Structure 1
Amino acid sequence: MSEKSETREFITFLLKLGLFVFVLRSFIVAPFNIPSESMQPRLLIGDYLLVGKWPYGYSRYSLPFSVPLIPGRIMPSTPERGDVVVFKAPPSQNLDYIKRVIGLPGDVIAMQNGQVILNGKPVPKQRVADLVIPVSQNMIDATNAEGGLSPCYRPEFEITKDGERYCAYPRFRETLPNGKSYEVLDVDSDGAGDNRAPITVPEGHLFMMGDNRDRSADSRFPASDGGAIGLVPEENLVGRALISVFSTDGSANWFLPWTWVTAARFDRIGQGF
């Protein structure tokens, strides 16, 4: 075989591989990593998960780099309350956020003393055991980037056990009317989002909240670039969280291969939603 033929075959292989990856990431599954604490306790900084693209249909935001090849939304389906979804965050639609769906079109959502009021009825919120997690390097890095004082949000949530540092947060279990149950953190008794006036979710929009209620910029607040998101158009949906596939505590060093293993949190792999 001539060198020219080999080059042509190699280029053809790369084009086919690129097309396969494009189709896979656009219409089937795509990876997503967690950069913040807004979805604790379910998701920690350093978690990696797969996002299913098919559950809610497809729009331009389903495609890599939001290439405008799909007009509007095709094969649309509205999420269920309690779904954990990835979406392009308003107002710029440039950043991927992950939150939990709390309100659907037509719902009236309010917050009263840290409790969700859905269509005039309080969502049950039961106190459970504190979330106790070790202080990890990626938590320290995030705190330093934000100029914070403690990787545990505030120093009073940091404890020491057997010489190791941990964060201990008040944890609760919420149960939505459809039976979907999940855990949330609520560390402030008078947080900025604990009391919000009722708002009606308009047609084609969703009300999203982070499970870490005092560390989440979500639909309780007006949309701002890099901050809160306001009400999210369904067209902005990227996909539904499916399963955690990897997790790292941030302590790995690229030049020390054995740390790639010691930094992994294997117990978090395989957790579904």
Structure 2
Amino acid sequence: MAGKIENKLDANGKPTAKSEIWETIVILVQALAIALIFRSFLFQPFSIPTASLQSNVMIGDYILASKYTYGYSKYSFPFEIIPFSGRIFGRAPERGEIAVFRPVPQTVDYVKRVIGLPGDTIQMKKGVLHINGTAVQKERVGTIIDTDSRGDSLEMIQYRETLPSGVSYLVQEFSDTRPFDETSVYTVPDGHYFMMGDNRDRSLDSRSLQTVGYVPLENFIGKAEVRFFSIKDNINPWQVWRWPGNVRLERMFQSVYQ
């Protein structure tokens, strides 16, 4: 709630220009403080610029990630303005959840699905995900045209993948002979997680140890929850004159887990 401000009046009984400017500054500071608290402790919006989670989360989607679900670390706050080690409050990420995180070698935020938990072994064999030596159920459901951030469109095979916990979602790939479709065994270190994109052949994820690798719990930012806006071709959402014919109303205000 905004605080009460005592305005100084001029000879005509009206607020002076100086007092009006000061009142405006106070209101703006209060609004920024509220926005900062909301972003740091409750929900943070993120835009999706890449195809790594298509078709579940598409280029041009805008999502809200809950901060409180996984608790708080220095990565929860803008510019890491509250530096501390570890994580407080919240719970651990669960397999199958879509999460926003900061890979150790990177300075930008990523969004992927949690696949491997601490102590798990993960391996890809001919495009089939194996967790702790057991193949994850994978059923072909059809084909789909997938367009990446450069505008390149390709037909891809779509599958329904079901994790041992029962969490089910769609994945897609060109074939089962791409570089990360056949891997060695990854053993997830204690306190770390293995993250993968649903668009398997267009995702740079934990399968690339040098680029993303295992993600420490501390580096999680939030759990993806809902799409609140979506627009084709990653058009700038502030260009409202381009909304007609480009805004994807059918993707707005929906859970990312549908």
TM-score, structure 2 normalization: 0.87
The structure-2 alpha-carbon separation of the partners of 1:252 and 1:63, relative to structure 1 and needing over 3 Å to count, comes to closer
| Whole-Å separation in 1 of the counterparts to 2:234 and 2:110 | 24
Q: How many pairs were matched up?
A: 242
Q: Deviations over 1:68-117 (max 9, x none)?
A: 3444211142111000000112213x101000000001111111111111
The structure-2 alpha-carbon separation of the partners of 1:257 and 1:198, relative to structure 1 and needing over 3 Å to count, comes to closer
Q: Cα distance, 1:221 vs. partner?
A: 1.3
Query: Which of 134, 138, 163 lines up with 1:176 in the alignment?
Result: 163
Question: Who is 1:148 aligned against?
Answer: none
| Whole-Å separation in 1 of the counterparts to 2:222 and 2:40 | 10
Query: Which of 94, 101, 107 lines up with 2:114 in the alignment?
Result: 101
Question: Who is 1:44 aligned against?
Answer: 58
| Whole-Å separation in 1 of the counterparts to 2:130 and 2:254 | 29
Query: Which of 168, 174, 186 lines up with 1:187 in the alignment?
Result: 174
Is this contact kept in 1: 2:172–2:198, CA < 8 A?
A: yes
Check if 1:207 corresponds to 2:194: yes
Is this contact kept in 2: 1:35–1:46, CA < 8 A?
A: yes
Check if 1:267 corresponds to 2:250: yes
Question: Who is 1:129 aligned against?
Answer: 142
Amino acid at match of 2:166: G
Structure number with larger C-alpha Rg: 2
| Whole-Å separation in 2 of the counterparts to 1:86 and 1:251 | 19
| Whole-Å separation in 1 of the counterparts to 2:157 and 2:17 | 66
Question: Can you give the 5+ residue segments of structure 2 that lack an aligned partner in the other structure?
Answer: 1-14
Amino acid at match of 2:182: N
| Whole-Å separation in 1 of the counterparts to 2:236 and 2:76 | 33
Q: Deviations over 1:200-248 (max 9, x none)?
A: 1111100000001111111111233xxxx01111111010111111111
Q: Over aligned residue pairs, what C-alpha RMSD do you find?
A: 2.0
Q: Cα distance, 1:188 vs. partner?
A: 2.4
Check if 1:83 corresponds to 2:97: yes
Q: Cα distance, 1:257 vs. partner?
A: 4.8
Check if 1:247 corresponds to 2:234: no
Q: Cα distance, 1:259 vs. partner?
A: 2.5
The structure-2 alpha-carbon separation of the partners of 1:189 and 1:21, relative to structure 1 and needing over 3 Å to count, comes to same
| Whole-Å separation in 1 of the counterparts to 2:218 and 2:66 | 15
Secondary structure in 2 matching 1:75: coil
| Whole-Å separation in 1 of the counterparts to 2:145 and 2:24 | 52
Amino acid at match of 1:207: F
| Whole-Å separation in 2 of the counterparts to 1:254 and 1:198 | 42
Q: Deviations over 1:156-197 (max 9, x none)?
A: x3xxxxxxxxxx320001111111000000212211111111
| Whole-Å separation in 2 of the counterparts to 1:81 and 1:211 | 13
Question: Can you give the 5+ residue segments of structure 1 that lack an aligned partner in the other structure?
Answer: 145-150, 158-167
Secondary structure in 2 matching 1:49: strand
Amino acid at match of 1:100: R
Q: Cα distance, 1:256 vs. partner?
A: 7.7
Q: Cα distance, 1:270 vs. partner?
A: 2.1
